[in-house]
Amino acid sequence: MLSVVIPCCNEAFRLEPLCALIDGAAGRGWEWLLVDDGSRDGTGGLLESFAARSRSRVRLLRHERNRGKGAAVRTGVLASQGDLVGYVDADLAASPLDFAAWLDDDGLRAGRELLVGIRLLTQERLVERRLWRHLLGRVYLTYVSCVTGLTVYDTQCGFKLLSGERARRLFEPLGCAGFAFDTELILRALGAGMRIREVPVAWQERGRSRVRPWNALRMAVDIVAIRARLAREGRG
C-alpha cells in the first residue's frame, strides 16, 4: 500500500481539484493523509467534510497552529501505515498519481533509495516554472551545496517517495519545521546509507505559492542549523 502525505495551509481556494483527484483514485487503495497546518480560511472544515464522504481512505490530521511545511509532512509521515510513503504539494504542481510508476521498484521497497523529483526542462517541456522561482531556486541550491556538500539538483521539489519503514525512521528525529526540511531528509537518508535517485517529473506551477523571496533568508539560517544538528548527532 502507498501512503500519500499532503500538507495543507490555507488551501480552501484549490481543494476542489485535490479532492477530485483523490476520489478518482479510490480504486487504487492508497492511503491519503491530509495535514491541516493551522489553516485560518476554512481548509480544516472542508477537509473534514471531504474525508467523511470520500470513497478513498482519507485521514485528516490537524495542527491547531501553523507549524511549517516540514512539521506538517512529518506529522503525516509518522501517522502513515503504507509500505511506501510519498508526499506532494496541495496545489498538485506534481501529480501524486505519478507515484504509480514506482510502486514495484525493488530499491524503494527495500529501503535502499529515496526517490527525489527534479524539475528539469526536457525536450518534452513538461515543466512550467516562473523564471524568478527557477533562479531563486538555483541560488538556494548552490548555497546548500556549499554548506552541506550536497550535489542533489533539486532538493525542494515537492515529489518524494521512499519505503514506509525508512520514512518513519528518518522523519522521527527531523528537526526542521520549515521549507528547508527536504534538505535535512536527504542528508539523513545519505547518512543512513541510502541512494538518492533523481528523476524528472512533470511540473506545472499553480500560482499563489507560500514561498516568498524573503523566505530564502529563513531557509538559509535553517540550513546552517541542520548542518550543526547533524554534526552533533555524528552524522555531519
φ and ψ at 166, to 5 degrees? -65, -45
Angle, nearest 10°, between helix axes 181-191 and 69-79? 50
Please report the pLDDT score of residue 123 as a whole number: 45
Asked if CATH classification 3.30.470.10 holds for the domain at 2-232, the reply, yes or no, is no
Report residue 134's pLDDT band, with 50, 70 and 90 as the boundaries.
low
Distance CA 201, CA 209 (A): 19
Instruction: Determine the pLDDT at residue 18.
Output: 96
Sequence-ordered list of residues with C-beta below 8 angstroms from that of 53, at least 6 positions apart, any chain = none
Q: What is the pLDDT of residues 52-72, one digit of tens each?
A: 999 899 999 999 999 999 999
Whether pLDDT at 157 is above 70: yes
Q: Which residues contact 184 (CB under 8 A, 6 or more apart)?
A: 70, 174, 175, 176, 226, 229, 230
What confidence score (pLDDT) does residue 75 get?
98
Lowest mean pLDDT among 80-94, 117-131, 158-172: 117-131
End-to-end CA distance of the chain: 33
